[in-house]
A and B are shown apart, each in its own frame.
Chain A
Amino acid sequence: MIKVEEKLFQNRYRVDADLPHIRVKDNTVCNDLCSTQQCTVCCPAGCWTFEAGKIGLMTDGCLECGACRVVCDEFKNVDWNYPRGGYGILFKFG
């Protein structure tokens, strides 16, 4: 099965080195309270992972769709913002 990295490879990004635009408000909510971690299923760029009982987020491949924020409606635990001007995904076609 195709891994998501194979897909992101073609995209153009300008990574805002140490200023991730999405943050988990409180990790313990994800690790202990949330039982489904649906963000890991719905994210089209595979930025969210849940392994060994710990939530993981890496925003450098993010497509800025907003699904993780919307899907996390039970706990509202995603602090979601756009990257700084000119940073993040830059669609060549869109």
Chain B
Amino acid sequence: MSEVKTTKPIKKRKIKLDENLLAYRGVWVYIESERGHVHPVSWELMGQGRQLADQLGVELCAVLMDAAGPALDAHCNSAFHFGADRCYRIASPVLSDYRNVPFTKALTDLVNAHKPEILLLGATTLGRDLAGSVATTLRTGLTADCTELAIDPEDRCLLSTRPTFGGSLLCTIVTLNYRPQMATVRHRVMPMPEPQPERTGLIVDFDPGLIETDIVTKILEFIPDEMRDKPHLPYAEIIVSGGKGLGKADNFKLVWDLAHVLGAEVGASRAAIHAGWIGADRQVGQTGKTVRPALYIAAGISGAIQHRVGMEGADCIIALNNDPNAPIFDFAHYAIVGDCNQILPALTRSFGTYLSKPETKVVMETAKELA
């Protein structure tokens, strides 16, 4: 990361593309699949890629790598449904499971052959590993974990915006006189596009000439994750937190009930931990954990800045508090003013109904068409 300058926008250097870089056209999205299963971030990127391609007036291409077979072909079709004009298909037994060297060689050769101007990958452990090596091999620019991608109308450059300094700031990064412009984006940042089943397109096969015996790294086995018991607050997508406003220790049970129905992690404010109602490893805030979930439900938490710092990155904050001017209402998205010990059970029932967990009565269909 180059030095952070003041917040005034720096006059961007006028980028003059070398002659040979003008040939780089088209927006590519790397479709990441492991064990026959495409990671949803790839489809989200297809939606974003479609917009960029339309703005640039160029083709959107999907890149798929796997052992030959029905799964690979099905994924190509899905890529067309999600907006691809063309699919580059690289089928090789060497690519059945992800390993850095073969995948880097295949993607690099493909890029050198067909010269895209933009290459997008998911910011998964696979995507970041691959992007890092490919960018270095191609000697080009790469911006990671972007939260926003746009085209600069003046010079058709990709403007990648991403958090920096631990998320307290955002910065916009530009790739200069290098192509392709590479960027990775995290899962659930870009909206999922609607598939159009009638779309189809051109499949282009590419053979990077991979030989298994050349590859040094061997995969011995794959161990799937079992259920985690240790609190995983930093990675949780839904968190239900309780604070002093709950009144007493056993009301925390209501927080656990709602969390159970939502498959969520349980967090707490410093005051609740101070009162000894829950373990300190569940503290969200300045001296606890920083979380960035999709949904954060705060029950009986005043929302003092020390707590706010740890959770204001949440996508959707629901605040339950009986004090109408609790500070949390200044930055929460939704607020219910009332007694948490009444609201929480009601919320548990409503979400339970919606998610049609066994203990709820409502018929499956209503849940389905709501989904």
Instruction: Judge whether A58 and B273 touch: CB under 8 Å.
Output: yes
Instruction: Judge whether B306 and A5 touch: CB under 8 Å.
Output: yes
Main secondary structure on chain B at its contact with chain A?
A: helix
Contact with A along B300-313 (1 / 0, CB 8 A): 00101111010000
Identity of the chain B residue whose Cβ is nearest the Cβ of A56 in the assembled complex: B274
Instruction: Judge whether B276 and A56 touch: CB under 8 Å.
Output: yes
Identity of the chain A residue whose Cβ is nearest the Cβ of B248 in the assembled complex: A52
Distance A51 CA – B277 CA, assembled complex (angstroms) = 13
Which A residues between 20 and 73 are near B, CB-CB below 8 angstroms?
Answer: 49, 51, 54, 56, 58, 60-61
Chain A residues in 8 Å Cβ range of B307: 5
- The residue in B276, B280, B287 that gathers the most chain A C-beta atoms within 10 A of its C-beta is B287
A49 with B274, Cβ < 8 A, contacts A9-B309, A13-B287 known: yes
Instruction: Judge whether A6 and B305 touch: CB under 8 Å.
Output: yes
Instruction: Judge whether A5 and B304 touch: CB under 8 Å.
Output: yes
Distance A70 CA – B270 CA, assembled complex (angstroms) = 26
Instruction: Judge whether B286 and A51 touch: CB under 8 Å.
Output: no
- Chain B residues with a Cβ closer than 8 Å to the other chain, count: 14
Tell me the smallest distance from the CB of A68 to a CB of chain B, in Å: 15
B362 within 8 A of A: no
B23 within 8 A of A: no
Contact of A6 among B273, B276, B306 (CB under 8 A): B306
Distance A3 CA – B303 CA, assembled complex (angstroms) = 11
25 A-B residue contacts at CB 8 Å? A3-B302, A5-B270, A5-B304, A5-B306, A6-B304, A6-B305, A8-B286, A8-B306, A9-B286, A9-B304, A9-B306, A9-B309, A13-B286, A13-B287, A15-B287, A18-B280, A49-B274, A51-B275, A54-B276, A56-B275, A56-B276, A58-B273, A60-B270, A60-B287, A61-B287
Task: List residues of A whose CB falls within 8 A of some B CB.
Answer: 3, 5-6, 8-9, 13, 15, 18, 49, 51, 54, 56, 58, 60-61
